[in-house]
């Protein structure tokens, strides 16, 4: 795709002239010119470019913001593109025919395109403390940057001159491989404890180190995570379990104390488990991550692997089954223990249960060297269940040395007298 031509409307003000309209004295950011960063418009979606250029041509600031800038700087493909601007929601709505204002506490705009695609456009937000009265507070790029969670997520890409704008030292942390909360980590985590999980996510996802003050604040405040709405906490951990980085995420969650807060029942079982069982748990997640990254595992398969260590480490189900039955009802209760107090999509819950319950009969037949009965192999979910079972069985043989169950001797019937 050829790069759009940079137009310069007569009414368009420069970046700094527009910033002065906010009447706020703020330190100037570090500006990284196009020659010193790898972001190219070739890596930005057509839809995002269309939104950026239309806002710019209308005289507004138009920045790519958040994770897309971070990912492109790291050489990763962004999942989506978000746009930040000084235009108010009503002004954005007038510029884009196929758009809708959403949100109540703080309004933003979704601009829609063919194929179900949309770009989220957010007006720069003002100071966090100003919203305590429930009012919608707009602000400057500087204020918006300091509203974000960690430094590497607060970098802006300016479509007007292709520069990176850095108010918070995000570029330095990106080069050093550091996850650092913006501002006082104690205050930020107390105000919104979910930020602790987000810091851990980014460290796990890209292999960065959590900065010391940020990590110590997580250790101090991990118990506050359940003050957040369960729906928000669920959305966070689901992204991590299903994202392809669950193993390093689980290790950081465990070390920080957050795992036992988010999954109380699972945390107690792992705390009492042997070192071998805990090692198996983390290795199982690492194997799952490899499958997820290759696109070979569904959400239900990933959740089944994540859940499997819980009933066996608690002793509720044996690792080596003595029969080929499917323990549906017992596993249903075990899953509810892990997922409480999180609401779950019924379809995903039932699909996960179906796969997990199939592990025991499949493992039995594989260990015994039997052919898989047709009543199992003809099931629609058989291939998925078999893939899950093979991963589990491979690691249990390697790490725990499990063997086939002993065949039970049949009693000889005595002849009738």
Local confidence band at 403 (pLDDT 50, 70, 90 cut-offs): confident
Residue 334 predicted with pLDDT over 80: yes
Tell me how long the chain is: 417
Q: Residue 412 has what pLDDT? A: 58
Cβ atoms 256, 222 nearer than 8 A: yes
Rounded Cα distance between 253 and 45, Å, is 34
- Domain range for 294 is 263-400
In the chain, the percentage of residues whose pLDDT exceeds 90 is 82
Residue 1 predicted with pLDDT over 90: no
Average pLDDT over residues 343-358: 94
Average pLDDT over residues 299-323: 95
Rounded Cα distance between 253 and 239, Å, is 14
In the chain, the percentage of residues whose pLDDT exceeds 70 is 89
Local confidence band at 136 (pLDDT 50, 70, 90 cut-offs): confident
Q: Residue 2 has what pLDDT? A: 40
17, 160: one domain: yes
Q: Residue 105 has what pLDDT? A: 77
Local confidence band at 127 (pLDDT 50, 70, 90 cut-offs): confident
Residue 84 maps to a domain: yes
Count of beta carbons in the 10 Å neighbourhood of residue 409: 6
282, 380: one domain: yes
Cis-peptide into 153, omega within 30 deg? no
Mean pLDDT for the chain?
90
> Over the stretch 241-266, which tens digit does the pLDDT of each residue have?
999 999 999 999 999 999 999 999 99
Residue 6 predicted with pLDDT over 50: no
Q: Residue 128 has what pLDDT? A: 76
Residue 204 maps to a domain: no
- Residue ending a domain, among 132, 153, 176, is 176
Residue 127 maps to a domain: yes
Local confidence band at 4 (pLDDT 50, 70, 90 cut-offs): very low
142, 273: one domain: no
List the catalytic residues. 80, 82, 149
Residue 310 maps to a domain: yes
Residue 289 maps to a domain: yes
20, 168: one domain: yes
DSSP count for the chain of H helices, then E strands: 20, 10
269, 134: one domain: no
Domain CATH code at residue 158: 3.30.460.10
Q: Residue 9 has what pLDDT? A: 38
- Residue ending a domain, among 158, 176, 194, is 176
155, 37: one domain: yes
Question: Can you spell out the DSSP letters for 255-298?
Answer: HHTHHHHHSHHHHHHHHHS-HHHHHHHHHHHHHHHHHHHTT---
Residue 357 maps to a domain: yes
Q: pTM score, two decimals?
A: 0.87
The angle at the Cα of 334, spanning 406 to 243, to the nearest 5 degrees, equals 100
274, 389: one domain: yes
Residue 221 maps to a domain: no
Q: At 51, is the secondary structure helix, strand, or coil?
A: helix
Residue 371 maps to a domain: yes
172, 278: one domain: no
| Number of structural domains in the chain | 2
38, 164: one domain: yes
């Amino acid at each position: 795709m050829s790069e759009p031509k940079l137009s310069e409307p007569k009414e368009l003000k420069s970046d700094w002239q527009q910033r002065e309209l906010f009447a706020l004295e703020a330190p100037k950011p570090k500006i990284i010119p196009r020659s010193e960063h790898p972001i190219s418009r070739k890596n930005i979606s057509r839809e995002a470019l269309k939104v950026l250029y239309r806002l710019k041509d209308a005289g507004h600031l138009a920045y790519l913001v958040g994770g897309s800038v971070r990912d492109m700087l790291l050489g990763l493909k962004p999942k989506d593109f978000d746009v930040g601007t000084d235009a108010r929601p009503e002004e954005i709505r007038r510029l884009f025919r196929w758009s809708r204002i959403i949100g109540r506490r703080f309004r933003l705009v979704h601009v829609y395109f063919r194929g179900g695609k949309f770009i989220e456009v957010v007006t720069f937000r003002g100071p966090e403390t100003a919203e305590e009265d429930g009012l919608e507070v707009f602000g400057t790029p500087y204020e918006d940057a300091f509203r974000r969670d960690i430094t590497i997520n607060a970098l802006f890409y300016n479509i007007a001159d292709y520069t990176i704008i850095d108010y918070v030292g995000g570029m330095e942390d990106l080069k050093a491989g550091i996850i650092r909360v913006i501002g006082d980590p104690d205050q930020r985590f107390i105000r919104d404890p979910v930020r602790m999980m987000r810091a851990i996510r980014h460290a796990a996802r890209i292999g960065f180190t959590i900065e010391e003050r940020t990590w110590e604040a997580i250790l101090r405040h991990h118990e506050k995570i359940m003050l957040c709405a369960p729906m928000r906490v669920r959305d966070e951990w689901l992204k991590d379990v299903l994202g392809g980085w669950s193993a390093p995420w689980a290790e950081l969650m465990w070390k920080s104390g957050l795992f036992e807060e988010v999954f109380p029942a699972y945390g107690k079982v792992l705390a009492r488990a042997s070192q071998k069982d805990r090692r198996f748990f983390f290795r199982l997640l690492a194997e799952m991550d490899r499958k997820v990254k290759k696109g070979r595992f569904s959400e239900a398969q990933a959740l089944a692997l994540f859940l499997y260590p819980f009933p066996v480490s608690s002793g509720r189900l044996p690792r080596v089954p003595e029969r080929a039955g499917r323990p549906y009802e017992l596993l249903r209760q075990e899953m509810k223990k892990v997922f409480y107090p999180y609401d779950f999509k019924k379809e995903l819950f039932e699909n996960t249960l179906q796969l997990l319950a199939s592990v025991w009969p499949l493992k039995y037949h594989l260990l015994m060297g039997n052919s898989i009965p047709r009543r199992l192999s003809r099931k629609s979910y058989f291939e998925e269940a078999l893939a899950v079972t093979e991963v589990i069985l491979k690691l249990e043989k390697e790490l725990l040395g499990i063997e086939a169950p002993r065949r039970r001797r049949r009693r000889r019937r005595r002849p009738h007298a």
